């Protein structure tokens, strides 16, 4: 067991969420030219190859050893759906607002956990859920500047991601973290490769565009690696608040590359979503410590 190094864990987590925000910003740019499913295929394929290169030689068959192959497949497909809906939403919506919608997923998890996992939900957590959804309505308010189609895409992404997190809870008690991470990359690569006849087309990328597409897989793979390492050096109760720095990175990238900053009401909504999700995350750690989810965003 590595010696606890809280500062190292925090720095690794900041690096991880930076990678995830960079992945989202790059996908938004590339989705203006290339089909979203093709970008999702590239993101998972590069991630899968990185895992084969860096983990397979040392872990060998341990990397694929699982007692629940069907659940691994289902979990992987829900993350693929999250990626498809999420990238489609990022292509349309500003980065900060779209990222905030993904953080609605922990609120949905509370509802799913009540009915699927039969967990008892306190009044405080129900209030946090209600507040979080109110924050989402502030962002997607009628008459606002956001695309309705983009909001629907991100809502679907958040729902799929919530189901993914519930499945992660079920598997994390018995499955190796890196094995779970490998199966998400494997299932994403296989499913999107089998579906290529239905979406492949459009212009061929030039050298710069090819490097940008490859960078999406690198950002995803490195981000998940940093995330896994962070939890080895610091407890989840310390690192959970750091994950919300992804919204800060997304806001910064949205301003730097797309010249967008959230308006006042959207900023309030983003803050309410972050606060509500953070309250639920911290109350969950206090109520019943559990292995951390090792994949965020997507």
In a domain, 201, yes or no: yes
Q: How many whole angstroms from its chain centre is CA 127?
A: 24
In a domain, 242, yes or no: yes
Distance CA 104, CA 237 (A): 19
In a domain, 293, yes or no: no
**Verdict on whether the full-model pTM lies above 0.85:** yes
Q: Is the dihedral of CA 29, 30, 34, 39 positive or negative?
A: negative
Looking up tokens 């492949």 gives 200
Per-residue confidence band for 172, with pLDDT thresholds at 50, 70 and 90? confident
In a domain, 187, yes or no: yes
Query: Is the pLDDT reported for residue 130 higher than 50?
Result: yes
CA angle 17, 109, 114 (to 5 degrees): 155
User: Three-class SS of residue 129?
Assistant: helix
Distance CA 88, CA 97 (A): 14
pLDDT (mean) for 177-197 = 92
Query: Is the pLDDT reported for residue 1 higher than 60?
Result: no
Angstrom distances, CA of residue 199 to CA of 30, 46, 81, 282:
15, 19, 15, 41
> Given this model, what pLDDT does residue 166 score?
86
In a domain, 55, yes or no: yes
> Is 236 within 8 Å of 292 (Cβ atoms)?
yes
In a domain, 298, yes or no: no
In a domain, 295, yes or no: no
Spell out the SS3 assignment of 215-282.
Answer: HHHHHHHHHHHHHHHHHHHCCHHHHHHHHHHHHHHHHHHHHHHHCCCCCHHHHHHHHHHHHHHHHHHH
Query: Which of these, 40, 26, 28, lies nearest to 192 by C-alpha position?
Result: 40
Query: Is the pLDDT reported for residue 269 higher than 90?
Result: yes
Number of domains present in the structure of the chain: 1
> Is 248 within 8 Å of 74 (Cβ atoms)?
no
Higher pLDDT, 115 or 85: 85
Q: In this predicted model, what pLDDT tens digit does every residue of 16-67 receive, in sequence order?
A: 999 999 999 999 999 999 999 999 999 999 989 988 998 889 988 898 999 9
Please give the residue range of the domain that contains residue 235: 6-287
In a domain, 297, yes or no: no
> Is 13 within 8 Å of 87 (Cβ atoms)?
no
Looking up tokens 């949205």 gives 254
- State the virtual CA torsion across 127, 131, 136, 137 in degrees, nearest 10: 110
Q: In this predicted model, what pLDDT tens digit does every residue of 52-61 receive, in sequence order?
A: 998 889 988 8
Query: Is the pLDDT reported for residue 290 higher than 60?
Result: no
């Amino acid at each position: 067991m590595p010696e606890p190094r809280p500062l190292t864990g925090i720095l690794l987590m900041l690096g991880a969420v930076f990678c995830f925000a960079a992945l989202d910003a790059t996908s938004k740019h590339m989705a203006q030219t290339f089909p979203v499913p093709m970008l999702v295929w590239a993101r998972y394929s590069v991630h899968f190859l990185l895992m084969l290169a860096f983990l397979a030689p040392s872990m060998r068959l341990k990397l694929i050893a699982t007692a629940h192959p069907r659940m691994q497949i289902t979990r992987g497909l829900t993350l693929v759906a999250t990626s498809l809906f999420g990238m489609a939403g990022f292509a349309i919506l500003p980065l900060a607002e779209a990222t905030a919608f993904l953080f609605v997923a922990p609120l949905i998890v509370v509802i799913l956990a009540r009915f699927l996992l039969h967990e008892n939900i306190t009044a405080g957590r129900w209030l946090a859920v209600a507040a979080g959804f109110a924050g989402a309505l502030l962002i997607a308010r009628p008459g606002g500047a956001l695309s309705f189609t983009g909001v629907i895409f991100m809502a679907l992404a958040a729902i799929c991601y919530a189901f993914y997190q519930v499945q992660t809870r079920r598997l994390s008690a018995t499955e190796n973290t890196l094995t779970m991470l490998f199966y998400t990359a494997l299932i994403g690569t296989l499913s999107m490769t089998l579906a290529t006849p239905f979406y492949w087309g459009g212009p061929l990328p030039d050298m710069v565009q090819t490097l940008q597409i490859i960078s999406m897989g690198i950002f995803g793979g490195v981000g998940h690696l940093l995330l896994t390492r962070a939890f080895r050096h610091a407890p989840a109760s310390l690192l959970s608040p750091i994950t919300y720095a992804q919204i800060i990175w997304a806001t910064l990238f949205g301003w730097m590359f797309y010249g967008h900053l959230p308006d006042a009401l959207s900023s309030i909504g983003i803050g309410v979503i972050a606060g509500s999700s953070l309250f639920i995350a911290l109350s969950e750690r206090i109520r019943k410590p559990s292995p951390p989810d090792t994949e965020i965003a997507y």
